[in-house]
Amino acid sequence: MQGSSSSACVNPSLAVAPRPPVAGADGPPARRIVVAHRLPLRASPDQNSPFGFAFSLDPDALSLQLSRGLPAPVTYIGTLPASAESKIVPSDELDCYLLENFSCLPVHLDGDRHAEFYDGFCKHYLWPLLHYMLPFTPADVVGRLRFDAASYRAFIAANRQFADRVIQVISPDAGDLVIVHDYHLWALPTFLRRKCPRAGVGFFLHSPFPSAEIFRSVPVRNELLRGLLNADLVGFHTFDYAHQFVSCCSRLLGISNTSLHGHMGINYHGRTVPVKIFSVGVDMGQLRAALASPEAAAKAKEIAEAYRGRVIMVGVDDVDLFKGVGLKFLALEKMLDAHKDMIRQVVLVQINNPARSRGRDVDAVRVETQRIEQRINRRFGVDGAGGSARIVTIDGLVPMSEKVAYYAAADCCVVSAVRDGLNRIPYFYTVCREEAPGARKSGAVVLSEFAGCSASLGGAIRVNPWNPEALADAMRAAVTMGAEEKQARHRTNYSYLSAHDAAAWARSFDEALQVACRDHPAMGFVGLGLGMSYRAVAVRPSFQMLTAEHVRPAYRRAARRLILLGYDGTMVPELLDEGKRAPSGGVLCLLNELCADPKNVVFLVSGRRKDQLAAWFAPCEKLGICAEHGYFTRWSRDDPWEVSDKHQEVASGTGWEAVAERATRQYSEATHGSYMEMKETAMAWHYQNADPVLGPCQAKELHDHLVGVLANEPASMAIGSQTVEVNPQGVSRGVAVEGLLGAMARRGNAPDMVLCAGDGEAMFAALAKAARAAGGGCAGALLPAGASVFACTVGRKASKAAFYVDEPADVVGLLAALVAR
């Protein structure tokens, strides 16, 4: 079992930035560690600096903006700015300088590794795939898009280096939390969980998350999904992205999910990983500062003079395949073709941000948009030869102080992305139209429905950018819109943005992460798997593997023993076909050896039908059986089946079985791969062979339906392991165990040692209750004082049992070791 990491730095020469004292606190305040691909720094050449560069915080860096609402102190981890990275020699002096002055701790990646990690795997494989591009897209369009094992290894190695940096500064015992930004660091939660199991880790994906049909094409899909599930909180921009992630986990990993108080969660090895939607906003303070700058005022004056008397549409996009700039230009061409009167009125100012990576795809986008732009300007220039351009393109790095001037001056903002995680351009535009000096406080936004922000801006004109006529009509509607409607739409957008700024995102994410990690101090973690298959099973600190060495001393000294065994998933593997579930000769022989010891009372406790169990275990003369979750009990093969008076009374109820059967049969017919099992007193609906997403949905719906129609009947409903069961009220394995203990106590043979192995949480709860009563000296206790109880679940998972074994073979091995003695 792995414990928490120490708070000391791995590198003693690295002085961690001191934490300010907190009045009344016993220790240092909790640190927030923000991890992103790049540090929020700017670097400019400076011959007077010992490092060759002068550094300053970059107000445009998203990781800095999204830290505004976090509690101090905040430490940033990432690589150096691209302008300086290859020209600076890594040193402890540099690291300490950046940490002390900017709370930034750099990760130094080798140049080749960084290129393979970022340009290779991240930008030319993972990023296009997250934007719904499949690997069979022609190579001459996008360059290489196929999975490359060497690039993936570089990606893993880079994430491991990031994890090493985090471990140097994190102190989970002090309440430190790690906030990881975006797909570049997808594997980081796995390495942090392995190195520091109690670390509180939140991951936010700034990109879209595709459907399972797209994501299943990734050769390492399971490792990547498990990477995010090793976080304590996973955040997305929109419900669609979150839902598709949950669907992928269900379809590809077979992991169940839950919903509580309106939020989704994934049940993963004893933890519930919350999956939430967080609205990323803009840094209002940064925008206001940019709008008030002299540079913005000068640029605003320049724009007013250059475009006097014309309607300005603005577009700001990265140069990549998914921003749809070409579609925007084609729609403008259609609009001008259809409405000649607008030729002299409208100009589209298109600002192209520098490309974030190099490649054939970027070159192809640039060539295509330039060709369309040149054609439009030739056709619709005022003098017919491009004398007055309809499209004005600005390439390269435009500072925010100039961009805000264009936003404030534009009558309309056009976003035509064909796939985008969020796209904050409409946010910037709306705030600038409201906050700029002398602002008109109105504006129109034409917004692609494929951009993540389209779900947030209720005042935007939403459009399918793949439909050029619809996009052209939307652009014309935006520039001809009446003042009253334009103001109303603008107010709707601005109201949302003012309530959901960057600081609000930080506060919301941090609060959710604190809630997700609140049980960490009381948890133990058991590590399973290697590399990216690693996962940490959350258990109680006392949870441990059960071996013969644990049980043998109590087994030998006991005067009377009770051995309780489940069947499916305990004596035989859960995933066996139904035709192969019958016990083997070895299992039958082992049970007979156990039963031959006069000190032993051995019971099989199962949900299966009594006739089936009686036939399977006919060779075991002295084996007791509790069938159908304990409704039927017999103490040996030749004893009659017993039913308690209480159960008989319930069974003679009001005919609820027919109602339940009709409802369950409808769901069986509607859910391919499911089937209904009728028992003597109960029924079960099995969906392990149904669609992994549809099956659980139908199960919940069937359960809720049965709860409604049988509300006044003596029946109980439960969702089990890929089943929905309907049993007579009061029937459970826990009740059955209490009945066995009570019967033995009445006969004067109360067991002083109990071994219970299986998957029945009700049994474990009943035994724990009996042990507490015995330890407290309660009258009528079912166990004698000092009785030894070994409750053991199969599989490392959250359980009321104190022990576990990994698989059914371990149960059989444990029993064989006890028999051998």
Domain residues for the domain of 619 are 544-646+733-819
For helices 483-499 and 425-435, the axis angle rounded to 10 degrees is 110
Answer whether residue 7 shows pLDDT above 90. no
- Please report the pLDDT score of residue 806 as a whole number: 85
Answer whether residue 17 shows pLDDT above 60. no
Q: pLDDT category, 298, cuts 50, 70, 90?
A: very high
pLDDT tens string 528-582: 677 787 777 676 667 788 888 889 999 999 999 999 999 988 888 876 566 667 8
Flag whether 182 is in a domain.
yes
Answer whether residue 466 shows pLDDT above 90. yes
Shared domain check, 39 and 78:
yes
Answer whether residue 387 shows pLDDT above 80. no
Flag whether 123 is in a domain.
no
Last residue of a domain, one of 728, 753, 770: 728
Strand 271-277 and strand 263-268: the pairing is antiparallel
Flag whether 564 is in a domain.
yes
> Which has the closest alpha carbon to 167: 336, 23, 14?
14
Higher pLDDT, residue 466 or 700: 466
pLDDT tens string 316-359: 999 888 999 999 999 999 999 999 989 989 999 999 998 777 76
Q: H/E element holding 757?
A: strand 753-758
pLDDT tens string 572-600: 887 656 666 789 999 999 999 999 999 99
Flag whether 441 is in a domain.
yes
- Please report the pLDDT score of residue 578 as a whole number: 63
Last residue of a domain, one of 697, 728, 759: 728
- Over range 67-71, report the average pLDDT: 93
Flag whether 18 is in a domain.
no
Residues 6+ apart with CB under 8 A from 714: 650, 653, 654, 656, 728, 729, 730
Query: Buried (b) or exposed (e) across 474-504, using 16+ Cβ within 10 A?
Result: bbbebbebeeeebbebbeebbebbbebbbbb
Shared domain check, 700 and 664:
yes
Flag whether 133 is in a domain.
no
Q: pLDDT category, 727, cuts 50, 70, 90?
A: confident
- Please report the pLDDT score of residue 129 as a whole number: 93
Answer whether residue 400 shows pLDDT above 80. yes
Which percentage of the chain shows pLDDT scores above 70? 91
Q: pLDDT category, 385, cuts 50, 70, 90?
A: very low
- Please report the pLDDT score of residue 574 as a whole number: 72
Shared domain check, 77 and 188:
yes
Answer whether residue 27 shows pLDDT above 80. no
Sign of CA dihedral 662, 667, 669, 673: negative
Q: pLDDT category, 648, cuts 50, 70, 90?
A: low
Shared domain check, 358 and 460:
yes
Shared domain check, 574 and 443:
no
Q: What is the CATH number of the domain that holds 217?
A: 3.40.50.2000
pLDDT tens string 586-637: 999 999 999 999 999 999 999 888 999 999 999 999 999 999 888 899 999 9
Shared domain check, 569 and 641:
yes
Strand 788-794 and strand 753-758: the pairing is parallel
3-state secondary structure 240-261: HHHHHHHHHHHHHHCCCEEEEC
Number of compact structural domains in the chain: 4
pLDDT tens string 174-225: 889 999 999 999 999 999 999 888 899 999 999 999 999 899 999 999 999 9
Higher pLDDT, residue 25 or 559: 559
Flag whether 682 is in a domain.
yes
Q: pLDDT category, 438, cuts 50, 70, 90?
A: confident
- Please report the pLDDT score of residue 70 as a whole number: 95
Using DSSP's 3-state secondary structure scheme, residue 352 falls into strand
Q: CA triplet 301, 306, 312: central angle to 5 degrees?
A: 95
Answer whether residue 362 shows pLDDT above 70. yes
Shared domain check, 190 and 102:
yes
- Please report the pLDDT score of residue 744 as a whole number: 93
- Over range 393-403, report the average pLDDT: 92
pLDDT tens string 730-772: 888 888 999 999 999 999 899 999 999 988 888 999 998 998 8
- Please report the pLDDT score of residue 576 as a whole number: 54
Shared domain check, 659 and 641:
no
For helices 425-435 and 400-409, the axis angle rounded to 10 degrees is 70
Last residue of a domain, one of 499, 528, 563: 499
Shared domain check, 480 and 401:
yes
Which percentage of the chain shows pLDDT scores above 90? 58
Shared domain check, 776 and 671:
no
Shared domain check, 679 and 641:
no
- Please report the pLDDT score of residue 523 as a whole number: 73
Shared domain check, 241 and 379:
no
- Please report the pLDDT score of residue 18 as a whole number: 41
Flag whether 222 is in a domain.
yes
What are the distances in angstroms from CA 762 to CA 38, 225, 572, 738, 766?
51, 32, 20, 10, 6
User: Across all residues in the chain, what is the average pLDDT?
Assistant: 87
